Copies of this chain bind each other. A is one copy, B any other.
Amino acid sequence: MSTDAALRARAAKVIPGGMWGHLNAAKLPEGYPQFFARGEGGHVWDVDGNRYVDLMCSWGPIILGHHDPVVEAAARRQADLGDCLNGPGPVLVELAERLVERIPAADWAMFMKNGTDATTACVTIARAATGRGTILLANGSYHGAAPWCTPVPAGTRPEDRANQGRFDYNDVASLTAAADAAGSDLAGIIITAFRHDNVVDQELPSREFAEAARRICDTRGAALILDDVRAGFRLHPGGSWEGLGVRPDLSAWSKAIANGHALAAVTGRDSLREAAASVFVTGSFWCSAVSMAAAVATLEELERRDVVGQLERLGLMLREGLAERARGFNIGLRQSGPVSMPLFLFEGDQEFRAGRAFCAAALKAGAYLHPRHNMFLCAAHTEADIALVLDAAEAGFRALAA
């Protein structure tokens, strides 16, 4: 029995369903490990000693690479002083200042642990600021796993999703209609940095859509909330909509902010500062200094290494290489979203059989890909890693063609 299988058998006894949440490997193709032993740079090792080029990057948090030496040294220096104390360390102020410097839409910052903490705080702040209730969300968008936003309704109640309106991503008419329906109760609009809904092609936001969201919030006195939890720092160092020239009132951050250390943040504009100070959101570990020291180091390294540019170059190499190989096999491969956060889906593959067979073969060849979820590149990936992924993909295409 493999070590992974032995651990799964033990887990089945003491963990409901053997594993919970998005890290449950039960729905991944045969051969995917549930348990991991370690990570280094752009690679991870499972508990049976198999090494993979890691294209999930821990589902987003790893942006510089596993065990980044600069980040880990900063974390260790802070850990030698203290982590969770009776109040924050000086690093809280330093981190907030860095974010305000680097994010044009940020006049202030607050910190949490989960992306869901940050999106929930944004919604709460928008409601406190406006004294209104309705928040608009795009159909299919993921904003976290609290009762108000979890995609699986088990154990939630209809009231958890009260005070919400829905629109379609990138559809100005449906957004306008939802805002009209909310009328004078419109507190805010929350939008993911790009459309990265589960199991459908990704879509970048159109400039028209982003500008319409901004205009609707401006004319109706509502707050525009950018959910940058998943994409933050991978597309633009100052916020994912900077390239569009549209600035949110509130932004939710997490995932990559501290290169794997548990941290989330809300940043906002001065107009929302008083409301942010009025709400009571808190947690026992929200001021833990080690994650903040890791975040300061991560932000510095992102800039110093031009990580956005580097991820784009690597991502383009991957995208073009995959397209070329798919054409060679005459396979209909759809690639969507930013090149640094790629999603591969196969034409006509409603049940993901092709995707699963492709990924299972690529896994055996040393590339850890995902058959349905967007993936993530990191700055520790090398051209040799991308070449290995392309060879692994070739094995995947060969399996499909067979």
Chain A interface (Cβ within 8 Å of chain B)? Answer: 3, 7, 10-11, 13-17, 19-23, 25, 33-39, 44, 47, 54, 56, 58-62, 66-67, 72, 79, 81-90, 92-93, 96-97, 99-100, 107-110, 113-117, 120, 123-129, 133, 145-148, 150-152, 154-157, 159-160, 162-163, 254-255, 260-262, 268, 273-288, 291, 368
Closest to A72 in B: B79
Asked whether A260 and B15 contact (CB < 8 A) given A61-B284, A156-B127, the answer is no
Residues of B contacting A3 with CB < 8 Å?
Answer: 90
Q: Which of B23, B86, B155 contacts A127 (CB 8 A)?
A: B155
**Which 9 A-B pairs rank lowest in CB-CB distance, beginning with the nearest?**
A21-B282, A128-B155, A17-B277, A152-B280, A262-B285, A124-B155, A16-B276, A159-B162, A16-B277
B35 and A88 contact, CB distance less than 8 A: yes
Q: Give how many copies assemble into the complex.
A: 2
A68 to chain B, nearest CB (A): 12
B276 and A83 contact, CB distance less than 8 A: no
B133 and A154 contact, CB distance less than 8 A: no
Residues of B contacting A276 with CB < 8 Å?
Answer: 16-17, 20
| Docked complex Cα distance between A179 and B279 (Å) | 31
B282 and A124 contact, CB distance less than 8 A: no
Q: Which of B60, B125, B151 contacts A284 (CB 8 A)?
A: B60
Q: Which of B56, B93, B128, B156 contacts A124 (CB 8 A)?
A: B156
B38 and A82 contact, CB distance less than 8 A: yes
B16 and A86 contact, CB distance less than 8 A: no
A88 and B36 contact, CB distance less than 8 A: yes
